[in-house]
Every structure is written in C-alpha cells, then in structure tokens.
Amino acid sequence: MLNKRNIALLICFGILTYVTINLVITTQALGENSSPSVENEDGWVSLFNGANLNGWEQKTGKAEYEVYQGTILGTSVENSPNSFLVTTKSYKDFELELEVKLDPKLNSGIQIRSYVNDGATRGMPVSGPQIEIYTAAEDISYSGFIYGEGMNIGGWLTPKERHIKHGHYKNGEWNHYRIVAQGATIQTWVNGQQVSNLTHEKAYEMCPDGFIALQVHSIPKRLKGQGPFKVQWRNIKIKEL
C-alpha cells in the first residue's frame, strides 16, 4: 500500500528519470549538430570536431569517408576516380595545419583553393593546387611538393629543379603538415621541415580561393585487387590571414 512517503519518492524518481532522458537527448543532439568551426582566441578554427563530418561534403569519387576513433578515415574502392571530401566553406589566404597517416602503397593530397569542374580537364573532377602526400620510400618522398590537380598548366607547380626528394615524411606514422597560402605564394612544411616556397602567379590567377579537400587517390592499375587502401586525417585547423 502506498503511503505519502512512497508517493513522494515515486514522484522524485519520475522527475529524475525525465531530466536524465532529456539531458541525454540534448547531449546527443549537440553532438550531431556540433559545429566544426570553433574559433580560438588566437584566430585558429578547428575544421573537424572529431565526432562527425559537419562542415564537409563529398563531391567526387566513390571512396568512403567516415569518422573513426576521432579521425577522418578515407577508404579507397575499386574502379573509382580520385575522391575528395571538401569543406563547405571557401578559403583564400590562410595557414592550415593537420596530421595525416597514409597506406604506404598509395598516395594522397590536400587540395587548397579548389573547385569542382565538369571533368573535361584531363578527366580530373577537381581543379586547384594540391599539396602532395607521397610515401613510396622514406628517403625519396615528394611529400609537400605542389601539384596542379586538373589545372592543365603543366602538372607539377613545383618546378622540376626544385624536386629535391627528402625523408621528412615517415611511413606508418602520423605526419604533421603546415601550409601557408598568401597571395600567389604557397609554402609547405612536413614534420617541421620546409619543403616548398612557391610563388606562381598563373596558378593564383586561376584559383585565388576555393575549398580545402582531402583526397583518396584512385587505385592504380598495378595495385588492382590489392586494396582497399586507407588514409587518415586529424587535428585539422585553419587560421585565415
């Protein structure tokens, strides 16, 4: 038989349960809708919140992008062109930092000031400067060189005489990239070592601003049937200049 004390306890329990359920629902909603763009006092903005892909969208290719243990994980698929996960916001002059880990059999890249084209330019779905991620061997890496993806102005923007292969990129490890784009000049660092200091007026004229994108490269014919290959990114942040 219920007395006044038991009734009071049941009411308190019901209120506590209601509050707890609503708190969980609110927390989940905030996680699903949390913005990737939280600006710090020093002007840096996180482009990836570690929980979802808000602020990003896949524009081309069939590679799979997902959040995995606080990272963005890209997985290649057979018979797909280059795939790109792009920011929904465009950027012009900025400093960008991120960390990347790549399957050593594949290469990848970071697009800056880029846009989606109609595929007519050498079959490339995206046009713009690409910062190379390349791991053929630790001591012959092209990582940090700058390529003109779909720009039809000669492939590499980094001149051939500056193709000095290096060992700054470490296979199988997280590698830190820093990219500074200001006007016609693009500078890159890999694990704290400067690789490129390029001024290219034509490239800047063609692509003065645009999205930032994370590439999952198509699987080369020589590697058919050996995949899938994976690439991961984390700690992605930007400061507009």
Burial 161-191 (b: 16+ CB within 10 A, else e): eeeeebebbeeeeebebbbbbeeeebbbbbb
Dist. CA 166–CA 150, nearest whole Å = 25
Instruction: For residue 70, count other CB atoms closer than 10 A to its CB.
Output: 12
Q: pTM of the predicted model, to two decimals? A: 0.81
Q: Give the pLDDT of residue 136.
A: 57
The one-letter code for the residue type at 121 is T
Q: Give the pLDDT of residue 8.
A: 53
**Residue 206 pLDDT > 70, yes or no?**
yes
User: For 166, which DSSP code?
Assistant: B
Dist. CA 61–CA 114, nearest whole Å = 16
Rounded-to-5 percentages of helix, strand, coil across the chain? 20, 40, 40
Average pLDDT on 81-92 reads: 96
Tokens of 157: 């923007």
**Residue 132 pLDDT > 80, yes or no?**
yes
The ranges assigned to domains in the chain are 1-33, 45-240
**Residue 142 pLDDT > 70, yes or no?**
yes
Superfamily covering domain 45-240: Exo-inulinase; domain 1 (2.60.120.560)
Average pLDDT on 101-117 reads: 92
Nearest to 151 by CA among 94, 112, 196: 112
Tell me how far apart the terminal alpha carbons of the chain are, to the nearest angstrom: 72
Mean pLDDT for all residues in the chain: 85
Q: Are 47 and 35 in contact (CB under 8 A)?
A: no
**Residue 124 pLDDT > 80, yes or no?**
no
Q: Give the pLDDT of residue 4.
A: 57
Pairing type for strands 94-102 and 230-240 reads antiparallel
